[in-house]
Structure 1
Amino acid sequence: MFQRLGVWVYRLRFWVIAAWLVAAVLSVPALLQVADVLKVGGFSHEGLEAAQVRATLEEELNAPPVTVVINFHSDILTADDPAFERQVREALSGLERMPEVVKPIGYHTYAPTQVSRDKHTAFEVIGLRVNPEESQDFMPELEQRLKPTDLEMHVGGAPAFYADIERTSQSDLQRAELIAFPVALLVLVFVFGSVVGAAIPVAVGGFSVVVVLALVSLIGRVTDLSIFALNVATMLGLGLAVDYALFLTSRFREELETRPVGDAVEQTVGRAGRAVFFSGLTVLIGLGGLVTFEFMFLRSIGIVGAIVVFVSLLAALTLLPAILGVVGHRIDTFRPPLSLRGTGSFWAPLARWVMAHPLRTLVPTLLLLLLLGLPFANVRLSSPDPSILPEGLDSRVAFDQLKREFSPGNLAPILVTVRSHGPITSPNNLEALYALSREVRRQPGVVGVASIVDLDSRLTLDQYKLMYRNRDDVPDLYAEAALLASTSEHVTVMQVNTTYIWNDPRSGEIVERLRATAMPGGLSLQVGGGTAEVNDVVSEMYGEFPRALILIVLATYLVLFAMLGSVLLPLKAILMNTLSILASYGALVW
């Protein structure tokens, strides 16, 4: 089959090249819009408890789905100074005309925890009624509407974080492309021993990446794809295209020594092309396993990875042989003074020595791989935070400032929703909430609880019962504001602040202890917030991983069995890949 393909490609080589040129040109409009259709986030789904808490807050308490945090700081003024408050209001005044903006939760209203210990820093929380996956698109307008004052101002929160990730990803991608293509060309010139021979894999890789990104842009209009898949598409596309081109081009040069160009192309595709096809198929299976996960960001990498493999294989089996057929003996044109070509005197003796001393090679190599992979046994999966961004970006500056001036747990508090069958402010339910709050406060690592029964440490349970006896006529303005913001007829939310940042394992332990809390009859409890999201995502990934792994191993074994016709060789290949993957991940966290 592959030999017939080689014959067909050689006969129609000019048409094949023309078809790829047309495809590349037609891909440009979609390529230019690829970043606009990709989504950020994708680390959750509606089946997770934390996601259900988020939905409850939006539906029952009318909470905005997205919040932006704006930090204000002054070396001279304090947050309780009227001049400080006046400048904060002036800075935010332009946001009132944005229909997506919800009234800010200000430190000067009923959230004193939004003021630092030295009172020189305070933050405002701005709600946005927009789709969380599109919230970063509103950041340029929001930032433009903020008015400068004498206060130092920084914008943070998830939308700002995602916007900076998007901008940084695009910038990194462009920089990577500018560096990767020339470097790849230089390395290939050194390996192939000719400029023309080296330019062919890079050209094939370039065509592949252009078409891949265009397909990603088109598919992203039909289904959600993560922005993280953009770098995968470019780097994996270039890597696979060059890798496959190396196999085929090297084989072509060998065949060209004893055959005419047409026969060399036929034999190249018939032999090396078959190996490349099955190699790509195993990569496709591995990436396809990611499609089985519920999370959009993993599923996106699987989908985009499958597109990359398909296009790379198509280019390697059609475009590359067509170019080789046109270039022919000119493939060795423009030889550099130094190259690795002709260094078979090193590789062949090395291979013979390894075959002659298998145990002396296997044992130290195996021990090295195991040693490199050991740290992976203690790997801890978590979610990214703004610390992954360059230090100069505004969302990173805001994050570092909040972390420095406030308790880390204030950045993303644990949210506990309590639901009742009857009115949540009934005396019995208030008694249960009061007991729950005091039990939560006793948890190690908890530094504060905010709820309708935690307004003032001096208030007793009986006083809370008296205050909320008629929820439509709460005598205290502060209590009334807290009730309206955090409580509906049957649901209330309790905010738990800890000493740990949201992706700290100790914060995750608090979440699990809260979820194990027994509630009296008629009341149910759910735990959400940033830490709970991390716990749920990691737990779900570990739960789905065995199924995906079994699928990948079985499918890979069957493909290799069909290719090699051996029972043991596929097992050896799977084992060696497992060891190399473990060693690679272990080296990353060493």
Structure 2
Amino acid sequence: MVQHSTHDNLPDASSRLYRWGVAACRHRLAILILPTLIALACLPLLATVEDRLSSGGWLPFGSEAAQVDRVLDEQFGRHATAHYLLFSDPNGSLLATETLFRREVERTVAPLRNDPSVLAIHTWGTTTNPALHPLLISDDERQSLAIVMVDQDVKTAAAEIPRLRELLTNDVLDVQIGGWPATTEDFRDLTSSDLRRAELFSVPIALAVLLVVFGGVLIAGLPLVTTALALIPTLAAVAIMSRYLETSVFTINVVVMIGLAVGIDYALILVSRYREELANHEPPHAMGVTLATAGRTIIVSGMAVAIGLLGLLTVGVDAATSTAIAASIVVFLGVLVSLSVLPAALSLLGNRVRIHGLVRLGKGGGITHRFGWFATTARAVLDRNPVPALAGSCAMLLLLAAPVLDMRPEPPGMTVLPQSQPARQMFDSVRADFSTSTLSPITLVVEPRNGRPMTNARNLNDLEAFTEALDEIEGVESVVSVWSFLPSGFGSGFLAGGIQVDEELAAVVQPYLTANAAVVEVNIRAAPGSEAAKAILDTIRTEHPRLSDGAFTVLAGGETATSVDLIGHLTDRLPWTLGLVTLATAVVLAVHFRSVLLPVKAV
């Protein structure tokens, strides 16, 4: 049986936290009303919190893959986003080359042709681009692809996926929608389902535990209410932030997880301490003492957690930055609510706070815990055998951390999606049945090294030779460049002169050729981010001087390149991030404990 006395070592009644605790009891209604009104005002924004979340944001600033994205946007005008539609006969009797199949494809995409956001629609047999014909039909000619180019960013296009799935239906053919917008929408669906799962399981379990600990329904529900008052404004802030900063689809999951953790943890600290003080003091003084002691602990804990989260800002990718900001906001609001709303609510409950769960009032005004024997036994073991206890604890922690050694960070991509998701199923179908197509190629930006325009006949000739060399790399299925869109026998000299005078020819080649650079897309059989895909990427990046005979500088981007660049970036930044977080946390703890040894022990 463990007893605590609160008569000795009381904090100074003039401290700010003590005075705030007393004020919280006296002005409890005003303190409760203001956060409630703020939460209610934020509710409309919650309906839009998922609208602009992105599966992207993992390009490290200044990385090679990021440079490719920038050049594609600035020089090649690739602001458009592509939806990919996969058509197939569910009975397997129709070929994609048959008239009925093609007619049904055209009937399905017809509603999109008048959509002002649609820039172009390419279907097999109707596209004016001859190079796309072999890419839009499966090897066995039983499936075909349609490419719908829209003048929207990925996040806006992703919001259109539910509407497209309702619009693009056919009673003869199966229609699947894929590409990055569909992938982003599927990630959003997963996030929503995870949150619903948390609501169905985590919240009832937490409430049951709080009921056992606190011994009353009202007081057990307080931590969940205060957590909600912190979460609602945070999610509203995420909705606003996502309009200006690329915000990861996983940000909401992180915010809810951390919000629940700190909200319940801080409530346990504050309520337990308040009950101890309430056993010997009047409520205002008891609350003042509680905030002057436990309140200070909560502030320091919140600072330590926020420092760890803000360390993600040093990673240098938008997805980590948005997550760090949102998670830090929910910790800040969790501390704020715990030190304002929770004391006011406890004061409002009055004597009902005295109902005990695992804690009882003992003789002489002390506090007795039902499981005090466990604390007594544990302390006795630690006092008698400190070295074995330390060694055992370290061994257990190392054992629990062992899976980290096999952890392989990957940005969210099509292959990260579960196979039950529609976008993943379409990706797998295209990969298996379309040997010349891929939804995620390795994209190269090729720039001449001789100082002449890329449209120079000699550079165009070297570009053709370079694409032929790329096609010889093991694992490469096909290579798409400006030469893929021109008739056989079309010479470099004719192309160089033709784009100067022929507007139609210039429009055809513009997505793949400008005066400064050319774009080459390398389609590979391997899945993006796989070891085989990384090996091909490494070959291109290291061997391109030899493959191009020294004619070009080559930058490689795409999903695989993003994965490789992100892992390399994290490997470089991780020591600095850990060092900064450790140092900042140690400083905060040293100021709080007025000790050097305790912060070293903690970190």
**TM-score normalised to structure 1 length:** 0.86
Q: Residue 256 of structure 2: which of 231, 234, 245 is its match?
A: 234
Aligned residue in 2 for 1:28: 43
Alpha-carbon contact 2:97-2:141 (below 8 Å) kept: yes
Q: Residue 67 of structure 2: which of 40, 52, 57 is its match?
A: 52
Aligned residue in 2 for 1:313: 335
Residue type matched to 1:514 in 2? I
Aligned residue in 2 for 1:536: 565
- Whether 2:180 is the aligned partner of 1:158: answer yes
Inter-CA distance 473–260: structure 2 relative to 1 (3 Å threshold): closer
- Whether 2:118 is the aligned partner of 1:101: answer yes
Q: Deviations over 1:93-128 (max 9, x none)?
A: 221111222223434343313322222122122222
Alpha-carbon contact 1:39-1:227 (below 8 Å) kept: yes
Q: Within 5 Å, which residues of 2 pair with 1:508-547? A: 508-516=534-542, 517-518=544-545, 519=548, 523-547=552-576
Q: CA deviation at 1:283?
A: 0.3
Residue type matched to 1:268 in 2? T
Aligned residue in 1 for 2:363: none
Aligned residue in 1 for 2:479: 449
Q: CA deviation at 1:444?
A: 3.2
Q: CA deviation at 1:352?
A: 2.2
Residue type matched to 1:349 in 2? T
Q: Would you say how many aligned residue pairs link Structure 1 and Structure 2?
A: 566
Aligned residue in 1 for 2:380: 352
Residue type matched to 1:5 in 2? W
- Whether 2:498 is the aligned partner of 1:471: answer yes
Inter-CA distance 308–539: structure 2 relative to 1 (3 Å threshold): same
Alpha-carbon contact 1:500-1:507 (below 8 Å) kept: yes
CA distance in 2, matches of 1:551, 1:409: 45
CA distance in 2, matches of 1:520, 1:391: 42
CA distance in 1, matches of 2:512, 2:99: 28
Q: CA deviation at 1:198?
A: 1.6
Inter-CA distance 220–341: structure 2 relative to 1 (3 Å threshold): farther
Q: Within 5 Å, which residues of 2 pair with 1:106-121? A: 106-108=123-125, 109-111=130-132, 112-121=134-143
CA distance in 2, matches of 1:92, 1:42: 31
CA distance in 2, matches of 1:328, 1:312: 23
Residue type matched to 1:503 in 2? G
Q: CA deviation at 1:570?
A: 1.0
Residue type matched to 1:29 in 2? P
Residue type matched to 2:412 in 1? P
Q: CA deviation at 1:452?
A: 4.4
Q: Residue 88 of structure 2: which of 65, 73, 76 is its match?
A: 73
Q: CA deviation at 1:406?
A: 3.5
Inter-CA distance 449–377: structure 2 relative to 1 (3 Å threshold): same
Inter-CA distance 433–334: structure 2 relative to 1 (3 Å threshold): same
Alpha-carbon contact 1:43-1:296 (below 8 Å) kept: yes
CA distance in 2, matches of 1:391, 1:463: 44
Inter-CA distance 107–341: structure 2 relative to 1 (3 Å threshold): farther
Aligned residue in 1 for 2:8: none
- Whether 2:197 is the aligned partner of 1:182: answer no
Q: Within 5 Å, which residues of 2 pair with 1:433-512? A: 433-453=463-483, 464-465=491-492, 468=495, 470-472=497-499, 483=509, 486-512=512-538
Q: CA deviation at 1:271?
A: 1.1
Q: Within 5 Å, which residues of 2 pair with 1:140-539? A: 140-220=162-242, 223-333=245-355, 342-389=370-417, 391-407=419-435, 410-420=438-448, 421-424=451-454, 426-453=456-483, 464-465=491-492, 468=495, 470-472=497-499, 483=509, 486-516=512-542, 517-518=544-545, 519=548, 523-539=552-568
Alpha-carbon contact 1:197-1:332 (below 8 Å) kept: no
Q: Deviations over 1:383-433 (max 9, x none)?
A: 223455455543233223223323598231112222334354545324422
Inter-CA distance 155–210: structure 2 relative to 1 (3 Å threshold): same
Inter-CA distance 450–22: structure 2 relative to 1 (3 Å threshold): closer
CA distance in 1, matches of 2:407, 2:430: 27
Inter-CA distance 61–271: structure 2 relative to 1 (3 Å threshold): closer
Inter-CA distance 135–325: structure 2 relative to 1 (3 Å threshold): same
CA distance in 2, matches of 1:292, 1:4: 38
Residue type matched to 1:254 in 2? E
CA RMSD of aligned residues (A): 3.2
Q: Which runs of 5+ in 1 are unaligned?
A: 575-590
CA distance in 2, matches of 1:137, 1:39: 10
Q: Deviations over 1:528-566 (max 9, x none)?
A: 222122222333333333333222111101001011122
Residue type matched to 1:527 in 2? A
Residue type matched to 1:90 in 2? R
Alpha-carbon contact 1:286-1:552 (below 8 Å) kept: yes
Alpha-carbon contact 2:88-2:173 (below 8 Å) kept: yes
Inter-CA distance 473–221: structure 2 relative to 1 (3 Å threshold): closer
Alpha-carbon contact 1:256-1:329 (below 8 Å) kept: no
CA distance in 1, matches of 2:491, 2:250: 49
CA distance in 2, matches of 1:233, 1:498: 37
CA distance in 1, matches of 2:425, 2:197: 23
Alpha-carbon contact 2:176-2:426 (below 8 Å) kept: yes
Q: Identity of aligned pairs, percent?
A: 30
Q: CA deviation at 1:159?
A: 0.6
Aligned residue in 2 for 1:553: 582
Aligned residue in 2 for 1:578: none
Q: Which runs of 5+ in 2 are unaligned?
A: 1-15, 359-367
Matched position secondary structure for 1:486: coil
Residue type matched to 1:92 in 2? V
Matched position secondary structure for 1:410: coil
CA distance in 2, matches of 1:239, 1:481: 56
Q: Deviations over 1:186-228 (max 9, x none)?
A: 1111223333332222222222222332343445556554332
Worse-matched range after superposition: 402-411 or 12-21: 402-411
CA distance in 1, matches of 2:69, 2:52: 25
